[in-house]
């Protein structure tokens, strides 16, 4: 921590009682502050501009209801948000942007089993995502089994209470994962353990599902988990001063993320698969919402499952937790293709997706509502892509394009609920587009080799004086200029992280911006930042890399992760320089690697070259080592693994590896 500026006498006194503050002593007693008059006015002014007369999304959400959850365990998520039960969409809390409040109320409306069309059903409101259920000749196919084992098991049990038995049973004849984000496969073991899956039932996934799943959750998994604490506000309460919605759904279920590995990957780009008499036309559409993703056309039911390419809101081109930047242009091409091939050609009566309610055509008016919906969704991403790059070609930088694009959003998009920025935003999506093409550098030479964050802040504080910046920040706050206030308070906190006045002032400015934010990740990040500034507490990070995910991660990717953990300074001091091999004989897999020049590299090979040390172990036993359930030494003693060559090299390598606990600072914590 930087200690170049000593705290004031008042701040020192406050530091003594920091952990005993009546309001912010701990997360258990934490409460946010009310909205300021400026925040109340800003939210009230926005409310006047929103298209409240359009209630079609609420009608779609309630259409086809077969049974509500009630007190069933499948409704656990909705029960956590029960404070919404006594409120109406037109009761606008001062501490919530009215647009995201309406989205929260919309997502709260969902909660049960729904019929999309005869033969297609959805569980909605049990988790962040929807579980879609297709009727086959002898049972049902489960599509996207939610985030957790517990939610999936409860949802299937609830569905069985209300779906008709087929030949006297509720059998599961197959399972499909639309893509490799955890809320679309994490409950798979809950489905498998129901005992209802028929023998040899296949599990389908898009091409490169396992590879992309591991790639997104292993290499940067620790950092992504910590960042997800901010995106999802993991320490915030469910109330109008905390979490009111998670954009794609009301929130996430609680329980274990699991993965039953797919048995079939869809290759080549398109493939027809038949599951117990029901045909699905599966199309790989990678690189838009996910690196590996499929959509499904089901001709028997005249239905199109768009996976996560559509939902009632603007999606992320860049997600705060840190997934790879998506390609907005590819996204528009996929939606145009689906629109032309299946919607405009009259092959579907409904589209349903991994989030939000389906869209149906109006059979009375003959209006192709699906086509209009998809065009608006498509043009939303097209606008962001094309206008961001138009502005970039005029010289607008990656840092400024977000503010500029907000000035030119077309009225058709403003007047449409399902293109609003609940998950993504025009601002951060525009910056993602420019970054994809031009990178992070704005070409201003001052940013060629920028000062580190703390040092840069201290340059400003030293030049202007801490008291001057603090007083200026307070003026901005009083005037309702919370972004400007945050800018000044942040420099003070970065330079003097133990000063309670500075920390609480920055928290106050973040909080009001959170109350005004339409985008879920913005609101949660601002409010989560305020929590950590006020309490000085960091909670454990969200972890997606569960035992099932680790068990299905290719060994080469684990070796890549070991290379990330290698501490270059330690490796150089240890003078590490050797060649190694890891083999899984039962799979006939061989990995060759080199440790040299304070770096580690590996590839999978057919034949192993000569090495200094070689490990032979089954993939399952190797996974147990990774999970910390056993050690290499133990496996060697038990005869389950063999080490040839200089085994001390493995110990030397292990001594240079960092451990990641996911508890790093995002905002500086007080000096200890």
- What CATH number does the domain containing 130 carry? 3.60.15.30
Q: Which of 516, 540, 571 is the last residue of a domain?
A: 516
Which of these ranges, 233-237, 299-303, 607-611, has the smallest mean pLDDT? 233-237
Q: Note the pLDDT of residue 9.
A: 33
Statement to judge: residues 245 and 100 lie in one domain: yes
DSSP 334-387: HHHHHIIIIITTT--SEEE-SSS--EE-BTTTTB-HHHHHHHHHHHHHHHHHHH
Residue 314 covered by a domain: yes
Which residues span the domain enclosing 641? 552-654
Average pLDDT over residues 640-645: 96
Average pLDDT over residues 655-670: 94
Nearest alpha carbon to residue 273 among 343, 210, 213, 201: 201
Residue 425 covered by a domain: no
| CB atoms inside a 10 Å sphere around CB 82 | 11
pLDDT digits (tens, 9 = 90+) for 280-317: 999 999 999 999 999 999 999 999 999 999 999 999 99
Q: Note the pLDDT of residue 672.
A: 62
Statement to judge: residues 119 and 141 lie in one domain: yes
Q: Which of 344, 376, 408 is the last residue of a domain?
A: 376
Specify the pairing of strand 303-305 against strand 350-352: parallel
Residue 540 covered by a domain: no
Higher pLDDT, 116 or 672: 116
pLDDT digits (tens, 9 = 90+) for 481-500: 999 999 999 999 999 999 99
Question: Domain of 489: which CATH number?
Answer: 1.25.40
Q: Note the pLDDT of residue 530.
A: 97
Residue 434 covered by a domain: no
Statement to judge: residues 113 and 241 lie in one domain: yes
Q: What is the mean pLDDT of the chain?
A: 93
Average pLDDT over residues 205-209: 97
Average pLDDT over residues 144-170: 98
Q: pLDDT confidence of 599, banded at 50, 70, 90?
A: very high
Q: pLDDT confidence of 123, banded at 50, 70, 90?
A: very high
Residue 3 pLDDT greater than 80, yes or no: no
Average pLDDT over residues 388-407: 98
Residue 532 covered by a domain: no
Statement to judge: residues 270 and 289 lie in one domain: yes
Q: Which of 376, 400, 431 is the last residue of a domain?
A: 376
pLDDT digits (tens, 9 = 90+) for 161-206: 999 999 999 999 999 999 999 999 999 999 999 999 999 999 999 9
CA distance linking residue 467 with residue 533, whole number of Å:
20
Question: Domain of 615: which CATH number?
Answer: 3.30.1050.10
Statement to judge: residues 131 and 279 lie in one domain: yes
Statement to judge: residues 106 and 233 lie in one domain: yes
Q: Note the pLDDT of residue 584.
A: 97
Q: pLDDT confidence of 90, banded at 50, 70, 90?
A: confident
CA distance linking residue 30 with residue 507, whole number of Å:
13
Contacts of 234 (CB under 8 A, 6+ apart): 228, 528, 539, 542
Statement to judge: residues 252 and 293 lie in one domain: yes
Number of domains comprising the chain: 3
Which of these ranges, 17-21, 165-169, 208-212, 341-345, has the smallest mean pLDDT? 17-21
Q: Note the pLDDT of residue 541.
A: 79
Residue 5 pLDDT greater than 60, yes or no: no
Determine phi and psi for 126, rounding to 5 degrees.
-90, -15
* Secondary element (H or E) of residue 463: helix 453-464
Average pLDDT over residues 538-543: 81
Statement to judge: residues 475 and 564 lie in one domain: no
Residue 661 covered by a domain: no
Longest dimension (CA), the chain: 80
pTM of the model: 0.94
Statement to judge: residues 288 and 245 lie in one domain: yes
Statement to judge: residues 483 and 508 lie in one domain: yes
Dihedral sign of CA atoms 279, 284, 285, 289 in order: positive
Residue 393 covered by a domain: no
Residue 550 pLDDT greater than 90, yes or no: no
Average pLDDT over residues 517-539: 96
Average pLDDT over residues 638-658: 96
Average pLDDT over residues 82-86: 86
Residue 534 covered by a domain: no
Statement to judge: residues 477 and 604 lie in one domain: no
Q: Please list, residue by residue across 335-372, b when 16 or more beta carbons sit within 10 angstroms of its beta carbon and e when fewer do.
A: bbebbeebbbeeebbbbbbbbbbbbbbeeeeeebbbbe
Distances (CA, A) of 67 to 74, 121, 476, 645: 12, 11, 51, 64
pLDDT digits (tens, 9 = 90+) for 341-388: 999 999 999 999 999 999 999 877 677 999 999 999 999 999 999 999
Statement to judge: residues 348 and 471 lie in one domain: no
Q: Note the pLDDT of residue 217.
A: 83
């Amino acid at each position: 921590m930087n200690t170049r500026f000593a705290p004031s006498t008042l701040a020192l006194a406050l530091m003594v009682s920091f952990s005993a503050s009546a309001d912010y002593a701990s997360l258990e007693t934490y409460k946010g502050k009310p909205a300021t008059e400026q925040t109340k006015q800003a939210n009230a002014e926005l409310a006047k501009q929103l298209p409240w007369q359009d209630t079609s999304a609420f009608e779609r959400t309630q259409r086809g209801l077969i049974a509500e959850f009630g007190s069933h365990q499948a409704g656990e998520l909705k029960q956590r948000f029960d404070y919404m039960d006594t409120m109406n969409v037109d009761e606008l809390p001062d501490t919530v942007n009215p647009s995201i409040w309406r989205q929260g109320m919309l997502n709260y409306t969902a909660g049960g089993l729904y019929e999309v069309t005869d033969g297609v059903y959805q569980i909605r409101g049990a988790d962040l995502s929807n579980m879609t259920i297709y009727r086959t000749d002898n049972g049902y196919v489960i599509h996207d089994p939610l985030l957790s084992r517990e939610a999936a098991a409860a949802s299937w049990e609830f569905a069985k209470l209300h779906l008709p038995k087929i030949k006297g049973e509720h059998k599961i004849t197959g399972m499909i994962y639309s893509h490799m984000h955890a809320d679309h496969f994490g409950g798979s073991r809950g489905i498998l353990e129901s005992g209802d899956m028929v023998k040899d039932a296949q599990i389908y996934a898009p091409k490169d599902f396992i590879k992309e799943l591991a790639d997104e959750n292993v290499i940067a998994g620790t950092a992504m988990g910590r960042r997800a604490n901010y995106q999802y506000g993991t320490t915030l309460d469910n109330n109008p001063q905390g979490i009111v919605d998670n954009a794609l759904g009301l929130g996430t279920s609680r329980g274990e993320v699991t993965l039953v590995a797919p048995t079939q990957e869809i290759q080549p780009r398109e493939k027809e698969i038949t599951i117990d008499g029901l045909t699905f036309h599966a199309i790989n559409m990678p690189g838009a919402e996910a690196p590996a993703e499929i959509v499904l056309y089901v001709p028997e039911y005249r239905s199109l499952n768009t996976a996560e390419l559509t939902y009632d809101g603007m999606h992320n081109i860049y997600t705060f937790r840190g997934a790879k930047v998506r390609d907005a242009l590819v996204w528009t091409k996929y939606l145009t293709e689906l629109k032309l091939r299946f919607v405009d050609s009259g092959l579907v009566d409904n589209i349903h997706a991994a989030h939000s309610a389906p869209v149906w055509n109006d059979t009375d008016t003959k209006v192709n509502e699906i086509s209009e919906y998809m065009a608006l969704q498509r043009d939303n991403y097209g606008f962001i892509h094309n206008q961001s790059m138009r502005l970039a070609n005029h010289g607008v930088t990656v840092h400024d394009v977000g503010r500029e694009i907000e000035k030119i959003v077309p009225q058709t998009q403003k007047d449409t609920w399902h293109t609003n920025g609940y998950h993504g935003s025009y601002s951060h999506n525009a910056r993602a587009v420019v970054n994809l093409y031009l990178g992070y550098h704005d070409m201003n030479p001052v940013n060629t080799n920028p000062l580190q964050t703390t040092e840069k802040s201290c340059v400003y504080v030293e030049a202007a004086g801490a008291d001057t910046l603090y007083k200026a920040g307070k003026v901005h706050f009083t005037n309702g200029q919370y972004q400007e206030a945050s800018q000044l308070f942040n420099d003070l906190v970065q330079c003097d992280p133990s000063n309670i006045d500075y920390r609480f002032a920055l928290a106050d400015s973040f909080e009001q911006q959170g109350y005004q934010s339409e985008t879920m990740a913005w609101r949660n990040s601002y409010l989560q930042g305020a929590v950590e500034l006020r309490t000085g507490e960091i909670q454990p990070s969200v972890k997606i890399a569960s035992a099932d995910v680790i068990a299905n991660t290719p060994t080469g990717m684990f070796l890549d992760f070991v290379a990330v953990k290698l501490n270059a300074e330690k490796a150089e001091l240890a003078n590490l320089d050797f060649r190694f091999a890891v083999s899984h004989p039962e799979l006939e897999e061989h990995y060759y690697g080199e440790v040299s020049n304070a770096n580690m590299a590996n590839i999978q090979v057919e034949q192993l070259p000569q090495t200094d040390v070689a490990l032979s172990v089954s993939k399952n036993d190797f996974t147990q080592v990774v999970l910390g359930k056993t050690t290499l030494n133990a496996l060697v003693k038990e005869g389950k693994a063999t080490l040839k060559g200089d085994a001390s090299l493995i110990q030397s390598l292990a001594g240079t590896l960092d451990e990641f606990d996911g508890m790093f600072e995002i905002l500086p914590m007080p000096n200890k």
